[in-house]
A and B are shown apart, each in its own frame.
Chain A
Amino acid sequence: MNEHRGAPDKAHVKELFAKLQENGDQKVREELIELHLGLVEYLARRFAGRGELLDDLVQVGTIGLLKAVDRFDPGRDVEFSTYATPTIVGELKRHFRDKGWAVRVPRRLQELNLQLSKVMSALSQELQRSPTVAEIAKSAGTTEEEILEAMESAHAYSLVSLDAGAGEDGPSFHDQLGQEDEMLDTLEYRASLTPLLDSLPPRERHMLYLRFFKGLTQSQIADQLGISQMHVSRLLAKTLSTLREGLTEE
């Protein structure tokens, strides 16, 4: 993603939007999104230092970007970046307004949270299993209460939308989807769940499959996907809440 810093070429962006409007090609849409991630990051930085991790803000801002890409009318005489900026900023502002109470995690806990990730992967390696709270506290040189508090604050972040993983998913997830479909077919409640599962981003869907159908633990999933356990917890919680909403909307 880093190669997309700096302003994208205007003529190229225009061309892509013309193409997107013509045939709705998802690849073109993804390219447009990736081209503007630098803009999202730039805007997200302006909101850093308010008790939120930059990564999370970028995720939120990306949602704004997705909306902007989908709503942009290339026929209008305005640059996309000009059009997208207020949408992205709006999403970031709304995020702080809506979730303010839930995500105003004290700096001390944020730092502990980051430290926790490191300590946990080291401990999991060493013990060859998920560590207990007492073990984490000992290794992090703090109390069990602090660790518990940090775990709960990690959960607070799960309220943050993390589903905007555009461009993050390599082909490896797609490769496995065929196998997943077979698995899902055996479910008695396939009919109501399948459409919802299908609507999830591939990585989130794969994660659900690994946890709920293959019975892998959250640490094993973290290993397999190369992300932290805490990130797996957050994504699972977030994905399930999306599914819940989907089910009750019926």
Chain B
Amino acid sequence: MSDHVTIRIPPATAYVGLVRAMASGLAARLDFTYDQIMDLHIAIDEVCSRLLDTAAAPSALEFRFGIAEGQLSFEATADGAVREDREFLNPLSRMILEALVDRFEVSRPDGTYVVRVEVQRTAA
């Protein structure tokens, strides 16, 4: 059983703060620690940055958060076509996501990238 909350933002870094704020709010509900929330912020920054970099002319970014007992997840996508000349996971994004989240997966079900990220609650 999990609840979902979705946010769509214009494709600009100025709006990424809204996604971070929503993630914080949801993570706080799940009793995530401050450290975990700050890590989550960095992960979201990275995912947004990769989505924006690899999308041709995106009209929006969408984050769909899933809230389950002790776990926060999200699926993120950019609307529109993908730039085939750019790889989604560059060395930096791999390094960041591997270190900061419990699971992540990049797929292309309908041509566009979908990033799925999962974070489990630790202590508290």
Residues of A within 8 A of B (CB): 101-102, 120, 129-136, 144, 147-148, 151-152, 155-156, 187, 189, 192-193, 211-213, 215, 217-219, 229, 233, 236-237, 240-241, 243-244, 247-248
Contact = CB atoms under 8 A, between A and B. Distances in A.
A237 B37 CA distance: 13
Contact of B92 (A148, A156, A217, A240): A240
A240 B35 contact: no
Secondary structure dominating the interface of B: helix
Interface stretch (B45-53, B57-65, B73-81): B45-53
Secondary structure dominating the interface of A: helix
Nearest to B17: A152
B53 to A, nearest CB: 6
Contacts of B46: 240, 244
Contacts of B35: 130, 217-219, 229
B124 A129 contact: yes
A240 B96 contact: yes
12 contacts: A129-B122, A132-B33, A133-B28, A133-B34, A135-B124, A147-B28, A148-B21, A148-B24, A237-B42, A237-B45, A241-B45, A244-B92
A218 B49 CA distance: 22
A167 B122 CA distance: 37
A215 B100 CA distance: 9
B29 to A, nearest CB: 9
A131 B31 contact: no
A151 B27 CA distance: 13
A120 to B, nearest CB: 6
Contacts of A247: 90-92
A21 to B, nearest CB: 37
Given A144-B28, A247-B91, 12 more contacts: A129-B33, A132-B28, A132-B34, A133-B34, A134-B31, A151-B34, A155-B20, A187-B91, A189-B95, A213-B99, A247-B92, A248-B53
Interface size class of B (residues with CB under 8 A): 20 to 34
Contacts of B118: none
A127 to B, nearest CB: 8
A152 B38 CA distance: 10
Contacts of B21: 148, 152
Contacts of B92: 193, 240, 243-244, 247
A89 to B, nearest CB: 26
B32 interface: yes
Nearest to B50: A244
B115 to A, nearest CB: 16
Contacts of A218: 35, 38-39
A240 B31 contact: no
A212 B41 contact: no
Contact of B17 (A156, A233, A244): A156
